[in-house]
Amino acid sequence: MASLQEQLLKAGLANKQSAKQIRSEKRKKNKAVRKGQTAQETGLQDQLNQQKQQQADKDLALNKTIKATLDTKAELAKVKQMIAQLAISDFNGELAFNYAQAGKVKTLYVDEITQNALIKGRIGIAELDHKISLIPAQAIEKIKAVDTKYIILLNDNQPVAEDEDDPYADFQIPDDLMW
């Protein structure tokens, strides 16, 4: 019966050069073991192991970047879905609500309840695909954590600390001042 090496050569799965190299490596290992030395990997084996390690490091780095891009795409898809699903549709009214977008003042006509909610920060304004949507403040906060480019306005509902030495403290400015 022929050895495995001979069978691989006949089948064409190996060539004479690689068989010769493997025999040489095996002979060097056996000689080192007989002389009492520890079994050392030969130069070819070291080189192969080094190449495998480099390839594994390269693959790991590539996988990390791919995973990062997929995660950001998933987060942006969530944001778009939140804006589409949570948009308040019944806000049309006669009161004008002014807000700034890209350095321009824009007007949105809303009813009184929506205007008060916008002023007090319970709802905010977001933009998706050049379409303005009103969204609850909790959703706006979640969207801000991912990407702020979709958020146009969310008023802060924290009370402002009053200055004790303010000469105009007796003259309060109304929140719903219309121009």
The alpha carbons of the chain give a radius of gyration, in whole angstroms, of 35
H/E run at residue 133: strand 131-136
User: In the numeric block, which tokens belong to residue 3?
Assistant: 């050895």
pLDDT of residue 158: 64
Q: Are 132 and 152 in contact (CB under 8 A)?
A: yes
Dihedral in degrees, nearest 10, Cα atoms 71, 54, 38, 44 = 150
Indicate the DSSP class of residue 88.
B
* Residue 122 φ then ψ, to 5°: -80, -25
Q: Tens digits of per-residue pLDDT, 80-112?
A: 888 888 888 888 888 888 888 888 888 889 988
Taking 70 as the threshold, does the pLDDT of residue 124 lie above it? yes
pLDDT of residue 65: 95
Q: Are 25 and 45 in contact (CB under 8 A)?
A: yes
Tell me the C-alpha distance between 75 and 141, whole Å.
Answer: 14
Nearest to 156 by CA among 120, 128, 116: 120
Q: Tens digits of per-residue pLDDT, 22-60?
A: 888 888 888 777 776 554 556 677 788 889 999 999 999
Sorted by where each begins, the domain ranges of the chain are 87-153
